[in-house]
Structure 1
């Protein structure tokens, strides 16, 4: 008589273990996929920020200090692309990256203002922007590897 209930009990335990195994593998697989997705998104976002900062720099940098700047130079540039790239980094980046992106926003405003107000400090502002972008890229590299 004991054999009648032992077989279904073992089969039930085996089925439960099999279900637990499927759930665990599924969770591990989804975590791995999420990590891959997050890594790819961080790399893409960092590339977009670097590209948009380069475009902004090219648009606002002056070859020499005597170059005339039009008062509406700032309004001629569409900041939506760079803002979107930085917002994307805010979403997918680590806390350190988010802090650097906030600093980059402030530095970009200072850089554009210094160029449009004909201040002589525009080169230093541009170099500060470059250093911040380099730090962001380094943080992304560290997070990705």
Structure 2
């Protein structure tokens, strides 16, 4: 996928990225809450001694810690993508920012965008292309 298409993909999925970050936070919280309940003390009577080095509770704790770490890494990568987009959009002129918001975030067609901005569809496509090419330089440094 070329950089132009990558930027368009990021812009089209910007709102989804933000929602994914929130959902990952909820998943981490859920795992952490479940993690705390796993640490409950068991008063069962041991039936026989074992040479097993780690207990099932220890294995569960390690597994949950690994899952939380994995989710935190994914979340951080998504946060970085969102921040790069935010930083790039801050550098745009108001009109250019409006074009991006309407076209990619609100998914308005070029035709409707042209009507809103009182431009031709061809001019909207040209402007969009220029903006996306500028964003490439800012997002993929």
Q: Same fold (TM over 0.5)?
A: no
TM range (shorter): 0.3 to 0.5
Which has more radius of gyration? 1
Query: Comparing both chains, which one has the higher relative contact order based on Cα–Cα distances under 8 Å and sequence gaps of 6 or more?
Result: 2
Considering fraction of residues, name the structure with more helix. Answer: 1
Query: TM-score when scaled to structure 2?
Result: 0.34
Query: TM-score when scaled to structure 1?
Result: 0.33
